[in-house]
Chains A and B, each alone.
Chain A
Amino acid sequence: MTMPREESNHAIITVIGRDQIGIIAWVSGRLAEYHVNILDISQTILNEFFTMIMVVDLEPSALKLDVLASALEQEGDDKGLQVKVQHEDIFKFMHRI
């Protein structure tokens, strides 16, 4: 079935959890495997709590957003990280007029 065609195929990936070595390496490694292009990254650590927000482009990838989401979520879960992959429109719609 065809989903509504948005202008962009950008998604926001958020990773939240206790800080540990190699989080960004893991996410970006997976994204490279899936041919997902990283457009921007921002990351902070507050009270040992790691938060990363990444803007990615799924256009070059054969992978659909929901498949990427469930793959990363599951793997993140095993590492004790909460990973979310969401189409950027939800943030655009909520906070921009």
Chain B
Amino acid sequence: MTITFAREEIQQTINMIHKENLDIRTITMGISLLDCSSDDIGKMEKKIYDKITKNAGRLVEVGEQISARYGIPIINKRVSVTPIAIAAAQMNVDEMVRIAKTLNRAAREIGINFVGGFSALVQKGFTSGDLALIDAIPQALSETEFVCSSVNIGTTKAGINMDAVLKMGNVILKSAQLTADNDGIAAAKLVVFCNAPEDNPFMAGAFHGVGEPDTVINVGVSGPGVVAKVVKKYPEADFSELSNLIKQTAFKITRMGELIARAASKALDVPFGIIDLSLAPTPAIGDSVAEILENMGLERCGTHGTTAALALLNDAVKKGGAMASSHVGGLSGAFIPVSEDAGMVRAVEEGALTLDKLEAMTCVCSVGLDMIALPGDVSAETVSAIIADEAAIGMINKKTTAVRVIPAIGKKAGDRVEFGGLLGGAPVIAVHPYSSKLFVHRGGRIPAPIISLTN
């Protein structure tokens, strides 16, 4: 028998993993909690705990075995659950907090990194469960370690629920205030969405949609470092060539995700859902989306041309990835979190990247304003107005947008916050000083746009 692999191919795979930070970012098991409902909070807590620990009890072990077999790091093992506002719609605020703590206990027991789904979908209005859950978020996130929360406040089909937008500005501020000693870490576990996907494996926004099967395996791949290296290697390539090079790289990254997803699905006997093909940066040097953009020829991320560069990158990543897997879903695109990306952090520190430019960038890439530290004296209304702007971009462009901002209590623009680990640290970014108060207090809904009338 002859070697069926070219030496260059083997070398390339090894380099991607060991020199360019290629990894599987997460294996996320979605678990439906729709069959865990009960009027009795004690019974419900038990049902939820049992269902998660029974179904995902081997998730970490299997993840580690697959990682060793293929020689590829699998960074996170996570669980997402049915939005708690739906699964526990009959509960009050205190009971919602108890459920968050139950999720936290189950996560600790099985050794996962995060559990997502302390969530509500309120794009058109609130149920009593939605209201209880939203009111419970600050306490739930500040008194748990592993629980992540998300609230969907708008969709292209339904418009934007501005009452929910106003509420979420307050919830974010309160979450940060309750964890002020830890630089507002609770707010880093909370995402406000427009057009939230129901099969996203990435935190903090993962939840298990009601259209999903009882359990499912979704895998998130990463690899900004690999793409940055390729872009750097071909400084002369024109945009057509550049796009092709990124497509080929994205294809290879996604194939690896597909392999791991199939292996995990088989080993756990849980159906395979989707591959989320996202360029998710980490604070590690060389694992940066900003670096890819700078390698394209921009002196600093955030300068003129950044939006165009990001648009090309995002599109090429999707085209390459879509060919490589039978089911691509979730968020799939380039993430531009600030604190988790050393290149973004530097760009903010040097004044090249502002909140307004980040907002423009979210028009052409995956998700939205992510892991951005705001001045501690920011008003809830200003946070709400930031959410409204971002949701409007998502609603009109039929894409997912999100806001995960962290008011840095007691700090001002230019100061630094540290979240640690994969969340990194970042300089506090300035917001506009002018008030949006009267606007966000109008209340009601921003109607769905004309493009929603597709039938």
Contact = CB atoms under 8 A, between A and B. Distances in A.
Contact of B71 (A39, A51, A53, A86): A86
B65 A55 contact: no
A95 to B, nearest CB: 4
A97 to B, nearest CB: 8
B1 A66 contact: no
A82 B14 CA distance: 11
Contacts of A4: 262-263, 266-267
B53 interface: no
Interface stretch (B4-12, B155-163, B378-386): B4-12
A93 B14 contact: no
Please indicate which of the listed interface residues A1, A14, A89, A90 has the most CB atoms of chain B within 10 Å of its own CB. Answer: A90
Contacts of B18: 82
Interface stretch (B110-118, B251-259, B277-285): B251-259
Contacts of B434: none
Given A93-B255, A93-B256, A14 B70 contact: no
Nearest to B256: A94
Interface residues of A, number: 31
A53 B65 contact: no
A39 B5 CA distance: 13
Contact of A94 (B62, B66, B68, B252): B252
Nearest to A67: B68
Given A1-B58, A1-B61, A3-B267, A53 B70 contact: no
Interface in A44-97: 44, 51, 53, 55, 65-66, 69-70, 82, 84-95
B1 A39 contact: yes
A40 B3 contact: yes
Contacts of A87: 69-71
B23 to A, nearest CB: 13
Contacts of B5: 12, 53, 88, 91-92, 95
B1 A86 contact: no
Contacts of A3: 65-66, 69, 263, 267
A35 to B, nearest CB: 18
Interface string B1-34: 1110111011111100010000000000000000
Interface in B41-70: 58, 61-62, 65-66, 68-70
A93 B258 contact: yes
Interface string B63-100: 00110111110000000000000000000000000000
Nearest to B9: A95
B69 A14 contact: no
Given A4-B266, A12-B5, A95-B9, A84 B14 contact: yes
B71 A84 contact: yes
A53 B11 CA distance: 9
Contacts of B7: 42, 44, 51, 53
Contacts of A89: 70, 259
Nearest to A57: B1
Contacts of B65: 1, 3, 66
Nearest to A54: B3
Nearest to B65: A3
A48 B255 CA distance: 34
Please indicate which of the listed interface residues B7, B12, B18, B258 has the most CB atoms of chain A within 10 Å of its own CB. Answer: B7
A90 B71 contact: yes
A91 B71 contact: no
Contacts of B12: 95
A94 B13 contact: yes
Contacts of B267: 1-4
Given A4-B263, A16-B14, A86-B72, 14 more contacts: A3-B66, A14-B14, A42-B7, A86-B70, A87-B70, A89-B259, A90-B70, A91-B9, A93-B255, A93-B259, A94-B13, A94-B255, A95-B5, A95-B6
16 contacts: A1-B61, A3-B69, A4-B263, A4-B266, A40-B3, A51-B7, A53-B10, A55-B1, A70-B68, A84-B14, A86-B71, A86-B72, A89-B259, A92-B5, A95-B12, A95-B13
Interface of B: 1-3, 5-7, 9-14, 18, 58, 61-62, 65-66, 68-72, 252, 255-256, 258-259, 262-263, 266-267
